[in-house]
Amino acid sequence: MGASAPVQSQAMLLRGQYLARAADCAACHTARGGTPYAGGLRMNTPFGAIHSTNITPHVVHGIGAYTYEEFDRAVRHGIRRDGKYLYPAMPYPEYAGISDEDMQALYAYFMNGVQPSAEANLDNALPWPFSVRAGLRAWNAWFKPPAPPAPDPGRDPDWRRGAYLVRTLGHCGSCHTPRGMLGQPKAMSEEDGADYLGGAVLDDWYAPGLARSLKTGARTWTEDDIVTYLETGRTEHKAAFGPMSEVVQHSTQYLTDADRRAIAVYLLSLPVPEDDDKDTERLAQPTQASSELANATPRSLGARLYLDNCIGCHRADGQGDPRTFPALAGNSAIISDDATSLIHIILAGSAMPATERAPTPLSMPGFAWRLSDAEVAELASYVRSNWGNGAKPVSADEVAQVRRSTGLPGAR
């Protein structure tokens, strides 16, 4: 961005940069340790592996030759400059709702505010027939959902802004909404039913439901909790992990406080599932687990494993340490019906994001090298059934599946 650029152009570029962060473009289009927006990130899908593409303004390897109309067609309609369809790992169904003004700012930023990179795009690793892009024409005809609905003009401005950020620009449903057999989103807004932001597995992580549900750990979240979480990746009792840690680091920490609050207003308005557990009181009650751990008298293998590996950070009462080690009672990774994230964290560990307000990326080590599948299952089942948690047990087969899928080593 040159110093001689007109004031209007500077403002447009800064707006485009903000929108690119709100849309979290860097999360997919930047490889680990790679050049920003130069692509190369491998993304595992149920249909094979896809590599993100170079979206810098390099004329040969990036999008430098795209006109605004071609850029718009790719982002909002999923069609490349050469007329071929993009795979819907690119959230163009959600981006279809981006406003014209925001699209123009995004185009200005990517063409004039991003450093060109000559990094060549990598081939995808998709088996036939998914490797044939011509089939995407049928997918778009049969399965592509309509764009997210425009926010209800009768709602207050914060809710409308939050709906736009969550449904469209932030494409939260790409991770948090389940998909059908051929990868189609089952819902695009709460108007489509309980599937919207209802929780889904993606790349060996479970993105929990976002409604105020006790089953997903979100029942006790306040507006301020959500705002703080989106800015720092942690609250008094919760912490971002896995892909959400990257969302905070690359995207939501850069949002204005007003936009983070708008997101909170919208999320807190989502309808609570009808089958949700209503017993919030039990999460604050002392339990036998707290007593036996505090006295170092574990009665089960799960308790012994917790005493050996977890108590130093998460404590005997499962409450952790505020803004440092997350509580296990009522934690979404612990109590969700799907235990994929819990298994993944125990095996591989995870780190909180490094943000301006919370610059230390506190991390948990992985125990794949130390614990067998059966031991991980016992430990996971233990934390899912104590301190008021009431989730179903985990099997050794479930652990083995995550270990295989992530390529983590077995215990020695």
Three-state DSSP at 242 gives: helix
Q: Work out the average pLDDT over 184-213.
A: 91
Looking at the fold, whether 239 and 173 belong to one and the same domain comes out as yes
Q: Predicted confidence band at 20 (pLDDT cuts at 50, 70, 90)?
A: very high
Distance CA 394, CA 376 (A): 9
Percent of the chain whose predicted confidence (pLDDT) is above 90: 68
Residue 30's DSSP bridge partners are 39
314 is in an annotated binding site: yes
How many domains in the chain? 3
Percent of the chain whose predicted confidence (pLDDT) is above 70: 91
Q: Predicted confidence band at 213 (pLDDT cuts at 50, 70, 90)?
A: confident
Q: Let me know if residue 219 belongs to a domain.
A: yes
- Domain boundary (274, 294, 316) is at 274
Which pLDDT tens digit goes with each residue over 223-266? 999 999 999 999 988 999 999 999 999 999 999 999 999 999 99
313 is in an annotated binding site: yes
Looking at the fold, whether 294 and 247 belong to one and the same domain comes out as no
Which pLDDT tens digit goes with each residue over 144-159? 888 888 888 889 999 9
20: number of Cβ within 10 Å:
25
Q: Let me know if residue 125 belongs to a domain.
A: no
Q: How far is CA 129 from CA 36, 134, 140, 184, 262, in A?
A: 31, 10, 16, 17, 42
Q: Work out the average pLDDT over 57-86.
A: 96
CA atoms within 13 A on the CB side of 196: 21
223: number of Cβ within 10 Å:
15
Q: Work out the average pLDDT over 26-51.
A: 92
> What b-and-e string marks burial along 182-213, b requiring 16 or more CB atoms within 10 Å of the CB?
eeebbbbbbebebbbbbbbebbbbbbbbbbbb
Q: Predicted confidence band at 3 (pLDDT cuts at 50, 70, 90)?
A: very low
Q: How far is CA 10 from CA 14, 255, 266, in A?
A: 6, 19, 31
Report whether pLDDT(269) > 80. yes
Q: Let me know if residue 145 belongs to a domain.
A: no
Q: Work out the average pLDDT over 167-190.
A: 93
DSSP string, 174-238: HHHS-B-TTS-BS-SSGGG-TTTTSEEEETTEEEE--SS-TTTT-TT--HHHHHHHHHHSB-SS-
CATH of the domain at 380: 1.10.760.10
CA atoms within 13 A on the CB side of 107: 19
Contacts of 129 (CB under 8 A, 6+ apart): 135
Q: Let me know if residue 130 belongs to a domain.
A: no
Q: Let me know if residue 140 belongs to a domain.
A: no
Which pLDDT tens digit goes with each residue over 307-361? 999 999 999 999 999 889 999 988 989 999 999 999 999 999 999 999 999 999 9
175 is in an annotated binding site: yes
237 is in an annotated binding site: no
Q: What's the confidence (pLDDT) of residue 209?
A: 92
Do 272 and 212 form a contact (C-beta atoms < 8 A)?
yes
Q: Let me know if residue 126 belongs to a domain.
A: no
Q: What's the confidence (pLDDT) of residue 296?
A: 67
Looking at the fold, whether 63 and 33 belong to one and the same domain comes out as yes
Q: What's the confidence (pLDDT) of residue 141?
A: 84
CATH of the domain at 37: 1.10.760
Looking at the fold, whether 161 and 222 belong to one and the same domain comes out as yes
Report whether pLDDT(2) > 50. no
58 is in an annotated binding site: no
Report whether pLDDT(404) > 90. yes
Which pLDDT tens digit goes with each residue over 85-135? 999 999 999 999 999 999 999 999 999 999 999 999 999 888 887 778 878
Distance CA 16, CA 35 (A): 19
Distance CA 390, CA 88 (A): 36
323: number of Cβ within 10 Å:
17
Domain that holds residue 228: 157-274
Q: What's the confidence (pLDDT) of residue 5?
A: 44
Report whether pLDDT(6) > 60. no
Q: What's the confidence (pLDDT) of residue 199?
A: 93
For the chain, how big is the Rg over CA atoms in Å? 22
